[in-house]
A and B are shown apart, each in its own frame.
Chain A
Amino acid sequence: MQVKITVNGQPREDAVEPRMLLVHYLRDVAGLTGTHVGCETTLCGACTILMNGQAVKSCTMLAVQADGAKLTTIEGLAKNGQLHPLQEGFWEKHGLQCGFCTPGMIMAAVDLLSRNKNPSDEEIRHALEGNLCRCTGYQHIVEAVQYAAHKMR
């Protein structure tokens, strides 16, 4: 089936099998491997991207469901070589170790900061409940999001 999807500002048109998951479309068709697959049950959040500005788990969507949508992946977050404040925050505050959850974690945080410009630590932890990290214990991630929130205000 033919789909038209805009990925990181680039309109694409591709033929996909209906059963192809969106995350496989991004990784294998669009060649954007920054979006990761960490579980099968819509829990870990490693595959989180933005669809029309909202965080979604791309492992629990078919590519055909994104027909006509505008997607942003981790690769599309930095603009003109300038890191997004959240990317900067994760770097400054050591918000990542193995880095596998990081793209999804950052994209979920983008969604949060688009809704709440001044989140409390507790609100950040709540907003990231759909993203699992096994390395950091989340503390530096919370600090990273606060860094970005501060910078974006």
Chain B
Amino acid sequence: MAALPKFIGQPIRRREDPRLITGEGTYVDDVKLAGMLHAALMRSPYAHAKISSVDLSAARKHPGVICALSGEDLAGRLPSLPCVAPAQNVPEHPALARGKVRYVGDAVAIVVATDPYTARDAIDLITADFDPLPAVVDAEKALQPGAPLIHENFGTNLAAKAEMTPPGFDKAMSEADKTLKFRLVNQRLTPTMMEPRGVVAHWEHGYKQLTLWSSTQIPHLLRSQLADMLKLGENKIRVIAPEVGGGFGAKLNVYAEEALLGYLAMELDRPIKWIETRRENMAATTHGRGHVTYVEVGFKNDGAITAIKAKFFCDMGAYLQLLTPAIPSFTALMVPGCYRVGALAFEQNLIFTNKMATDAYRGAGRPEACYLIERTMDMVAAELGMDPVQVRRKNFIPKDAFPFTTAAGLQYDSGDYEGALNKALAMVGYDKLRTEQAAARQQGRYLGIGVSTYVEICGIGPSALLPPKLKGGGWESATVRVEPDSKVTVLTGVSPHGQGQETSFAQIAADALGIDIDDINVLHGDTAIVQYGIGTFGSRATALGGTALVMALGKVQEKMKTIASRLMEVPPQQLIFTNRTIALASDPSKSIPLQKVVEAAYGYKQPIPGVEPGLDASAFFEPSGCTFPFGTHIAVVEVDPQTGAVKFLRYVAVDDCGKIINPLLVDGQLQGGIAQGLGQALYEETVYDENGQLVTASLMDYAIPKAQMVPAIEMANTVTPTNLNPLGVKGVGEAGTIGSTPCVANAVMDALKPFGIRHIDMPLKPEKIWRAIQEAKQAKKG
């Protein structure tokens, strides 16, 4: 047999793909069970209204309808949906609205019928009467006296408030030569994963077991919360996350439909499916971002930042979903970015509005921080007439200063911000570009060069950083089982939905055991198969789940070495795994086939006395700290001053996510992340009108980037490993999104510099740019 290569670091094509490119993957909507019913929901057309009556009689009489329920029917039968993150005011959140509806899309009634067409027909037969109430759409206005109250019992629309002003802050601010104050809007976004949510619930009466397929990122955490809500033991609920068609944080949640389907499957003793329509997905799946920030920055004449003060108004929406109030805290923590900011003070107001709840969305708090600090850098540069690159260099945390504790109190593990910046500048030819830009301006062409030097936080742990009510900490789990035929099963607690861990984890296991990746099967997303795990979010899977896997592999290796040492009569510490054998490190020709060791372990040949039979091990990795990937992105754009259109000329991304297991997957994560980030910069915005009607209610009005809107990205890496895990990996799932948004915004603003324009809020739609140019021209004339 040919010698096996090392797999880690190689661009191995994905092992997930054969089923997906042939249409053989199973997503929730592909699950079909005998006798399965179909659910549909009636949703509020009002942002804020009293429910006077919900008449279900006609719907119930419709042929094919099995049941129809309103919020009142469920009172006392299904508890509030969970918000596990702490907040001063956590409202009751019924799965079906009771008394009031609080956002457009709030579920009012559910119908279960024999097929989805009939269920939809029955929705039209429901007569619901609403008394509309004034709606609060703007988070800042929601705090003003006299604003309509969304949850009257709190007497305020404030969900929570957090403040921090460290001693010495005022002094730091007073040491500044100059200060700038400005307001930034980080607009609300609709995650728009391509597969809407979906649930299938199946109650097996004889076994008293509920199986719930859900398009979720967190099968185990969902199981724990559902067990509470449905009053079942966790050992009696099986949650399966089958193929999941994208999540981006919006499937890191516990939704009304999951609880409703579970409840109704048990009540009706029939399997039920609910598949979200796209319009429901836009209205009733969590949104992201939604911050207004007032920034005050103090700086020296040489560009050094002495102090930053940020006052946030964070739009929670009408209810608090699983982690809604936790997301802004990541923003506050990451405000200093990759800089030695002298001092940081912040105030965060978390505010209820008559809109869908916000929650995690790719980056979850960090893109807001990165946008804040990277726009601040450019504002400071503009004020001082400095090159934005110089201001960044002036403030960078130097590479020999790690581990470094920032002004926000976080300890950064490792970094080389200059290294990534220098590489990106060289790739793009920065100095030459600036010359070209100057020449273009002479010809009336508006080129812009935008830089962002980002850092973000991944692999969040230790467990104390996560709320206890989540019932899962900052750790991750893995099991490695060497089967009797030497094939290896890996069970991981992460729940990939596109990230490719079936491949990258097989690479890790193959190298550890000296076997082929084709001999490894990575399983995930089924709580009946996999040990408890936390799931996939926050760019945590490889740093935490990969490390748990390394630990589990270590345990299995130990046992195999023990057996091999007995068979080979050599000390176990002299043995290595190579080429499907266990061999003597000093002389690999002295070896024993892995299969022999496995046979001994399972006791069917040469059992080893004193060694417990079997060959599997589990491990749970509890991280001691978080990892901090970083990089530099540079965008070159051209603005058409007549129409405000923005065109990409170049996009260079140099990213450092520590060690790389599979460069193909890393590139894919970054490219997709960058597309999402530039979507926020240029196109995307969830719009509610002043009455709280959702204007971006379908893909006809919410613009996610199409292929032509995204430039070809020129990519490179630097590698600065972390020492917080044995793989040296940091995480890469959100980096692209975090780095790209301010990069593109900075590029557009740089293009508009000749007009004297300092800032336009995102999304940088042509009209806003055109209008700013017109106003600037008027101001010049005037």
Interface centre among A122, A138, A142 (most CB of B within 10 A): A138
Name the residue among B20, B21, B713 with the largest chain A CB count within 10 angstroms: B21
A87 touches B22 (CB 8 A): yes
B194 lies within 8 A of A90 (CB): no
Interface stretch, picked from B410-418, B540-548, B601-609, B670-678, is: B670-678
- Cβ–Cβ < 8 Å partners of A136 in chain B: 668, 671-672, 675
Interface residue? A22 (CB, 8 A): no
CA of A129 to CA of B25, assembled, Å: 24
B-chain residues with CB within 8 Å of residue A75 when the two chains form the complex: 22-24
Least distance between B702 CB and chain A CB atoms (Å):
10
The answer to whether A69 has its CB under 8 Å from any CB of chain B is no
- One digit per residue, 1 when the CB lies within 8 angstroms of any chain A CB and 0 when it does not, for chain B 278-292 equals 110000000000000
Residue A153 is within 8 A (CB to CB) of chain B in the complex: no
**Which B residues lie within 8 Å of A46 (CB)?**
194
Query: Which of B13, B17, B194, B497 is close to A132, meaning CB atoms less than 8 Å apart?
Result: B194
Q: Count A-B pairs with CB separation below 8 Å.
A: 177
- Whether B245 pairs with A40 at a CB distance below 8 angstroms is no
Convert B685-728 into 0s and 1s, putting 1 for each residue whose CB lies closer than 8 angstroms to a CB of A: 00000000000001110001111101011000000000000000
A119 contacts the other chain (CB 8 A)? no
Residue A152 CB within 8 A of the other chain:
no
A17-B117, A90-B17, A99-B16 known; A129-B707 Cβ under 8 A: yes
User: Is there contact, CB below 8 Å, between B700 and A140?
Assistant: no
Residues of chain A contacted by B16 (CB below 8 angstroms): 99
A137 to B705, CA, bound (A): 8
The residues of A that contact B51 with a CB separation of less than 8 Å are none
Query: Given contacts A90-B21, A134-B248, are A38 and B672 in contact (CB under 8 A)?
Result: no
Q: How far is the CA of A135 from the CA of B737 in the complex (A)?
A: 11
Q: How far is the CA of A141 from the CA of B664 in the complex (A)?
A: 13
Contact indicator B667/A44 (Cβ below 8 Å): no
Whether A135 lies near B246 (C-beta < 8 A) is: yes
Please, what's the 1-or-0 string for B239-282, where 1 marks a CB less than 8 Å from any CB in chain A?
00001111010000000000000000000000000010111000
Measured CB to CB, the nearest residue on chain A to B708 is A125
Contact of B712 among A36, A103, A121, A128 (CB under 8 A): A121
A33 lies within 8 A of chain B by Cβ: yes
Residue of B nearest to A20 (CB): B117
Chain A residues whose CB sits within 8 angstroms of the CB of B705 once the complex forms = 137-138
| CB of A125 to closest CB in B, whole Å | 4
Which B residues are CB-close (under 8 A) to A90? 17, 21
Task: Collect the chain B residues with CB atoms within 8 Å of residue A122's CB.
Answer: 708
B-contact bits for A49-84, CB 8 A (1 contact / 0 none): 000000000000000000000000111011000010
**CB pair A139 B24 closer than 8 Å:** no
Q: Is B195 an interface residue (CB 8 A)?
A: yes
Contact A96 B246 (CB under 8 A): no
Residue of chain B at shortest CB distance from A21 = B117
Q: Is the CB of B21 within 8 A of A91?
A: yes
Complex partner residue of A102 from B21, B30, B699, CB under 8 angstroms: B21
A43 B22 Cβ-Cβ under 8 A? no
Chain B residues lying within 8 Å of A133, measured Cβ to Cβ, are: 194, 707
**Interface assignment of B14: CB less than 8 Å from any CB of chain A:** yes
Complexed CA–CA distance, A134 and B251 (Å): 14
Are B24 and A34 closer than 8 Å at their CB atoms?
Answer: yes
Cβ of B388 within 8 Å of any chain A Cβ, yes or no, is no
Contact flag A98-B195 (CB < 8 Å), given A125-B708, A126-B708? yes
- What residues on B are CB-neighbors of A38 within 8 Å? 194-196, 245, 278
**Ordered nearest first, which 8 A-B pairs have the shortest CB separation?**
A34-B23, A100-B245, A99-B20, A97-B498, A98-B498, A137-B675, A137-B671, A74-B23
Name 18 extra pairs, CB < 8 A, besides A34-B24, A125-B706, A137-B674: A33-B23, A33-B30, A36-B245, A38-B245, A40-B279, A43-B699, A77-B22, A78-B22, A91-B18, A96-B20, A97-B499, A97-B669, A98-B244, A99-B17, A135-B498, A137-B675, A137-B710, A139-B712
A positions within 8 Å CB-CB of B: 17, 19-20, 27, 32-41, 43-44, 46, 73-75, 77-78, 83, 87, 90-92, 94, 96-103, 106, 121-122, 124-126, 128-129, 131-142
14 contacts between A and B (CB under 8 A): A34-B23, A35-B23, A43-B700, A90-B17, A94-B664, A97-B499, A98-B195, A98-B245, A99-B20, A124-B707, A125-B707, A136-B668, A138-B710, A139-B671
